[in-house]
Structure 1
Amino acid sequence: MSRSGVAVADESLAAFNELKLGKKFKFVVFSLNDKKTQIIVNETSSDQSYEKFLESLPENDCRYAVYDFDYELPGGEGKRSKIVFYTWSPDTAPVRSKMVYASSKDALRRALNGVASDIQGTDFSEVSYETVLEKISGGGAH
């Protein structure tokens, strides 16, 4: 349970484990249920396109997401994969929504073992592929 009294639904943990262990999904998007009492699965996808992932983030509302981020190491040293946790809280989202998502984040984040990086996004430039790649690869992937 989070400070806001929001619980993480079992389906949310199951979907995360399918992404992490089963490699069934490329990303999972989470939202709060209508009563704002549980963090539920909003969408899952095995689509490899990062653009498809970004399209799943609403322009005017908050979400959480995990994305199995693949990238090349510089100098052809091979590929890496990291599970990235996103807190999507656009400036245009309702204030109440931003507050509930902010106070509920820790419950979900603590439940997801194996996340390598956290990304906070308030607009699409902060969650662009290049921005996230730079953050998770230590800035040396150009």
Structure 2
Amino acid sequence: MASGVAISDEVVKHFEQIRVRYHGSEEKERFKLVIMRLSEDKKSIVVDHKCSLKIKDLEKEADIFKKIISMLPDCDCRYCLYDCFYKTKESSKQDLVFIMWAPDSASMQNKMVYASSKVALKAKFQGLKFEWQVNDPADKDLSCLIERLGGKDVIEVEGKCV
């Protein structure tokens, strides 16, 4: 990897679980959001268990998208896999969105490490359809995600009409 940061086996395992939607398990136990961060020693990318969400964690949320976005820290970078449910004019869809969160308030060193590690991480995530780069709180807006998912053809995201 260009940055010298390794990708933990657990990250790959969580990708497989969210990608196949953990068939055979209860739907409530499926991952909705897997957040990844640099380890404390900054030598590997690991799963951030405190911020990752399963469907059961979102049952009482009035606005699932806002809850997903609220899991991103204000001053540090993160990678995310978000299992997004949305509808277009033609059909209902569920796709994984790879999110790279690199806010302006994060340190330059962290932003550089995350940016240089992204290609190798995405190489482990075969079959991703959508990527969403978020650098500013204004980019966290639902309209920015909708643009990635298909723009004007999207009529609903996470049960909310747009």
User: TM-score scaled to structure 1, two decimals?
Assistant: 0.90
Correspondence for 1:55 among 37, 54, 70: 70
Residues 134 and 140 in structure 1, CA contact (< 8 A), matched pair in contact too: no
Residues 7 and 107 in structure 1, CA contact (< 8 A), matched pair in contact too: no
* Structure 1 residues 21-66: Cα deviation after superposition (integer angstroms, max 9, x where no partner): 1162011000010111111001321144222211110011000001
Residue 9 of structure 1, CA deviation: 0.3
Aligned positions of 1:82-121 closer than 5 A: 82-121=95-134
Equivalent in the alignment of 2:153: 140
Q: Which runs of 5+ in 1 are unaligned?
A: none
Residue 69 of structure 1, CA deviation: 1.0
Equivalent in the alignment of 1:17: 16
Equivalent in the alignment of 1:46: 54
**Structure 2 residue 82 is the aligned partner of structure 1 residue 67:** yes
Aligned counterparts of 1:31 and 1:16: Cα–Cα separation in 2: 14
Greater shift in the superposed pair: 16-25 or 131-140: 131-140
Residue 129 of structure 1, CA deviation: 2.3
Residue 130 of structure 1, CA deviation: 2.4
Aligned counterparts of 1:86 and 1:7: Cα–Cα separation in 2: 19
SS at match of 2:13: helix
Aligned counterparts of 2:120 and 2:42: Cα–Cα separation in 1: 13
Residue 138 of structure 1, CA deviation: 4.2
Residues 131 and 148 in structure 2, CA contact (< 8 A), matched pair in contact too: no
Residues 71 and 133 in structure 1, CA contact (< 8 A), matched pair in contact too: no
Question: Which one-letter code corresponds to 1:114 in the other structure?
Answer: G
Question: Which one-letter code corresponds to 2:17 in the other structure?
Answer: E
Residues 6 and 107 in structure 1, CA contact (< 8 A), matched pair in contact too: no
Residues 119 and 127 in structure 1, CA contact (< 8 A), matched pair in contact too: no
Identity over the aligned pairs, expressed in percent? 33
Residue 141 of structure 1, CA deviation: 2.2
| Matched positions, count | 139
Residue 106 of structure 1, CA deviation: 1.1
Residue 139 of structure 1, CA deviation: 3.7
SS at match of 2:10: helix
Residues 77 and 114 in structure 2, CA contact (< 8 A), matched pair in contact too: yes
Moved over 4 A (4+): none
SS at match of 1:26: strand
Question: Which one-letter code corresponds to 2:81 in the other structure?
Answer: V
Residue 122 of structure 1, CA deviation: 0.6
User: TM-score scaled to structure 2, two decimals?
Assistant: 0.80
